[in-house]
Amino acid sequence: MQGLVKLALEPEWEALFEPNSYGFRPGRSCQDAIGAIFLAINKKAKYVLDADIAKCFDRINHEQLLRKLNTYPTLRKQILAWLKAGVMDGKELFPTSEGTPQGGVISPLLANIALHGMENEINKLADTFDMKRPDGTQLSKRDKRQSVSLIRYADDFVILHEDITIVQRCQEFISEWLKDMGLELKPSKTRLAHTLEEYNQEKPGFDFLGFNIRQFKAGKYTSGKVRGKLLGFKTIITPSKKSQKRHYKKVAETIEKHKGQSQAVLIRHLNPIIRGWCNYFSTVVSQKVFERLKNLTYWKLIKWGTKRHRNKGRKWIFPKYFQKIGDNNWVFATKQEGKNPMRLL
């Protein structure tokens, strides 16, 4: 039933949703959001508000959401029933007076509807800013709006501008705007930083959706350019350290969990994890990170083999579990024996 209601509502709202809203929308991805951030900063170093909305899916005000939906009475009644039905926490059902049912098919769409308008309101706010060109003349409304970037993925968003006071005013405005929907920013996950310089004892750059976005000072041979003019910095996007730690932990736990299983079974469980992670970060500067994590994984696999055969040395273990395939001498793979071996990606 939720799927049918989503099919009815989604086309209408997709036509209305703001261009820099990327979460849980057809044809849009995390990588698209990161691409939008890159376009916003690759020509200018900027200050950033990196923010997270506290318990967004749990605290959305039902009445305000339904008012915003402005749909047919029958549909409104059904959606309210779902909202009041509660959310699953473990095996218990908790009735709720606020929030969207997490895990529900329609929940992400309802959350996006609740947060719709954030970017438009920031654009209107930008019209009121005192922004001047180098010659002292005031920027046009169009240029003011284009200079402030708000990029949102579900309940995570960033605001970017080269003037810290403007970013701070945007933060104050958004904090007030969210109250109308029963929401607030999460202080522990909200920070002000600069993409190139240290700011207020915060390191340059920021993490967003598992990526680290940062700029580095660069000389004439490595600096970015705009119309042939050197910028003096380059923008680098990599997998964040938290993402790397989380991925390695998952790999290590999978290896530990399958210490009594065959090599083929272990490879079958590891490959989807590695493939998914590498695909997610394949569009950014990730080669060195991939190599480092591959080396850490291989050391973990050597220990896995050693524990299975405590009376054997590495000279015996290596050829049992690591094969030469093509130009690669040490591939964690099953022996061929006339068949295609199962190999770790």
- What count of other Cβ atoms lies within 10 Å of the Cβ of residue 82? 18
Structure tokens at 207: 């993490």
Q: Which residues are within 8 A (CB) of 143 and not within 5 positions of it... i.e. 6 or more apart? A: 131
How far CA 36 is from CA of 4, 93, 152, 154, 223, in Å, comes to 32, 39, 10, 15, 20
Distance CA 205, CA 197 (A): 8
> Is there a contact between 342 and 333 (Cβ–Cβ < 8 Å)?
yes
pLDDT tens, residue by residue, 211-229: 999 999 988 777 777 777 7
Q: Return the amino acid letter for 180.
A: D
Residues 6+ apart with CB under 8 A from 61: 98, 180, 181, 182
Q: What is the Cα–Cα distance from 157 to 53, expressed in whole angstroms?
A: 8
Alpha-carbon distance of 270 to 313, in angstroms, equals: 25
Q: How far is CA 155 from CA 97, 107, 178, 181, in A?
A: 20, 13, 11, 13
| Beta strand segments in 166-226, E | 191-194, 206-208, 211-217, 225-226
Q: Which CATH class is domain 2-239?
A: alpha beta
142: number of Cβ within 10 Å:
11
What per-residue confidence (pLDDT) applies to 13?
A: 96
Kindly report the backbone phi and psi dihedral angles of residue 142, in degrees, each rounded to the nearest multiple of 5, phi listed first: -60, -45
- Helices 241-257 and 287-308 meet at what angle, rounded to 10? 20
283 three-state secondary structure: coil
Please report the pLDDT score of residue 99 as a whole number.
54
- Specify whether the CB–CB gap between 19 and 145 falls below 8 A: no
User: Would you list the domain boundaries of the chain?
Assistant: 2-239, 242-332
Residues 6+ apart with CB under 8 A from 230: 220, 223, 224
Give pLDDT < 70 ranges for the chain. Answer: 86-103, 337-338
On the CB side of 227, how many CA atoms lie within 13 Å of its CA?
Answer: 0
Identify the burial level of 170 via C-beta atoms within 10 angstroms of its C-beta, where 0-12 means exposed, 13-18 middle and 19 or more buried. Answer: buried
3-state secondary structure of 4: helix
